[in-house]
Structure 1
Amino acid sequence: MATKTAELEAILYAAGDEGVKQADLCQLLSITPSALRELTNGLKNKLAEDLNCGIRLIEVNNLFKLVTDPACSEVISQYFQKDSSKNLSQSALEILAIVAYEQPITRVEIDDIRGVNSSGAIQTLVWRGLVKVDGKKDVPGHPNLYVTTDYFLQYFNYSSLSDLPLIENFTDVYEDNEQLDLFNEKDNQNQEIE
Structure 2
Amino acid sequence: MEKKEANAIAEGLLFAAGDEGLTKKQLAKIMELDITYVDEIIDSLISDYQKKNRGITLLQSKDYLHLTTKPEHASYYQRLMDTPQSSRLSQAALETLAIVAYQQPITRTEVEDIRGVKSERPIQTLVARSLIEEVGRKEGVGRPIMFGTTKEFLTYFGLTSIEELPPLPTEVTESDVEQEADLFFERFQEQLDANNER
TM-score by length of 2: 0.50
User: Which residue does 2:96 correspond to in 1?
Assistant: 95
**Aligned ranges 1:101-112 → 2 under 5 Å:** 101-112=102-113
**Structure 1 runs, 4 residues or longer, greater than 3 Å off:** 80-83, 169-172, 174-178, 187-190
User: Which residue does 2:140 correspond to in 1?
Assistant: 139
User: Which residue does 2:196 correspond to in 1?
Assistant: 192
Cα 1:176–1:110 change in 2 (3 A) is closer
AA at the equivalent of 2:107: T
Q: CA deviation at 1:84?
A: 1.4
Computed over aligned residues only, the root mean square deviation of the Cα atoms, in angstroms, reads 3.1
Q: For structure 2, which runs of at least 5 residues remain unmatched after alignment?
A: 1-80
SS at match of 1:167: coil
**Aligned ranges 1:1-194 → 2 under 5 Å:** 82=83, 84-168=85-169, 171=172, 172-174=174-176, 179-181=182-184, 184=187, 188=191, 190-192=194-196
Q: For structure 1, which runs of at least 5 residues remain unmatched after alignment?
A: 1-79
TM-score by length of 1: 0.51
Identity %: 41
Q: CA deviation at 1:175?
A: 9.7
Cα 1:117–1:192 change in 2 (3 A) is same
User: Which residue does 1:51 correspond to in 2?
Assistant: none
SS at match of 2:148: strand
Give distance in 2, aligned partners of 1:160 and 1:123. 23
Indicate conservation of the 8 Å contact 1:155/1:193, yes or no. Answer: no
Q: Which has the higher contact order (CA 8 A, sep 6+)?
A: 1
Richer in helix (by share): 2
Give distance in 1, aligned partners of 2:178 and 2:85. 32
Cα 1:181–1:175 change in 2 (3 A) is closer
Cα 1:97–1:103 change in 2 (3 A) is same
Indicate conservation of the 8 Å contact 2:130/2:150, yes or no. Answer: yes
Indicate conservation of the 8 Å contact 1:156/1:183, yes or no. Answer: no
Give distance in 1, aligned partners of 2:177 and 2:122. 28
Q: CA deviation at 1:170?
A: 7.9
